[in-house]
Amino acid sequence: MKNLSVVLKTDYESLPEWDYFENELTKVFRLTKNERKTLHESTVARLIAAIPFAAGCEDPFRTAILHLVAYMAELRGLLFASSFR
């Protein structure tokens, strides 16, 4: 596993896989233009995507996409649940 300081210093804008993750999440969750823009600008989502690569996971693409899907599902669930209050 890489040093945590390496993860924190990662330039998330240059994460080459980010376009792939953004496109896949847009398709799976049927994001609107505004939602996609929010995802594109999300530092938290980029950090979630970067951690498996920095940690040296065996299959970082799969791990990252699974973590991002769980993150998006949780965000969607919270937004959905709050609309019934």
Q: Where are the domains of the chain?
A: 4-82
- pLDDT on residue 17: 78
pLDDT tens-digit profile of 65-76?
A: 999 999 998 888
pLDDT at 1 over 80: no
Mean pLDDT along residues 47-52: 91
Phi-psi region of 38 (alpha: psi -120 to 50; beta: other; left: phi over 0): alpha
Given a contact cutoff of 8 angstroms between Cβ atoms, the answer to whether 29 and 76 are in contact is: yes
Q: Would you place residue 48 in the very low, low, confident or very high pLDDT band (cuts 50, 70, 90)?
A: very high
- pLDDT on residue 37: 92
